[in-house]
Amino acid sequence: MRGSDQQSGDLFSYVDIEARMPARHLLRAIRTIVKAGLASLDAQFDKLYADTGRDSIPPERLLRAALLQAFFSIRSERLLMEQLNYNLL
């Protein structure tokens, strides 16, 4: 079953990610383009997932993470998660 890509806000975090990224940062423009592209693929993603079962990680999140990994030349998903945690400190 396909998971939801909704953000939970600040349910478990005291860090506002949006406030930490400068308003004119290049990643904001890229995020807008990526959001539009992934929204156009919504129907195709729905066809790939079963209607029953446990929710998966939303494919949109996985693709956005892969883009960040490519943009910042991070070798693996494990290092990507380490970099995210480190950079939020």
DSSP string, 13-45: -S--HHHHS-TT-HHHHHHHHHHHHHHHTHHHH
Digitized pLDDT (tens) for each residue of the chain, 89 residues in all? 777 777 665 556 666 777 778 889 898 999 999 999 999 999 999 899 888 888 888 899 899 999 999 999 999 999 998 998 888 76
pTM of the model: 0.74
Measured between alpha carbons, how far is 5 from 7 in angstroms, rounded to an integer? 6
Q: How far is CA 29 from CA 20, 64, 77, in A?
A: 15, 13, 24
Three-class SS state of 51: coil
Torsional sign, CA 45, 43, 66, 3? negative
